Amino acid sequence: TAFADYILMDPSEEYGPIFALMQEKIYMSKIVVEFLQKNRDATYEDLLNKIETTVPPAGLNFNCFTEDTLLRHAQFVVEQVESYDEAGDSDEQPIIVTPCM
């Protein structure tokens, strides 16, 4: 508001499922972008291995990532990779063109 900032620690029960889905998408995107930054020659199988061996942060409504998780959020993840590339310097190679993607 104009008078204060509020930090909400947990969503209400009504909004919890929406926030859980968004957190899953965010963490999946983070894993993919960070992996592609460091492994430009990686294959799809390499990415899947990274995703499946990454433990999500504690306190979330899910306890593992799978290929189904990636596929369920594929459009969002691709859009985040594209956004990452657009924000990069002109001399940086885009990660959207890596073999994995």
- Note the pLDDT tens digit of each residue in 13-63: 888 788 888 888 999 999 999 999 999 999 999 999 999 999 887 767 778
Q: Distance between CA atoms of 28 and 51, rounded to whole angstroms?
A: 8
Task: Find, among 42, 35, 38, 46, the residue nearest to 77 by Cα.
Answer: 35
Radius of gyration, alpha carbons of the chain: 16
Q: What is the pTM of this model?
A: 0.81
Q: Which domains does the chain have, with CATH numbers?
A: 16-87 (1.10.10.2230)
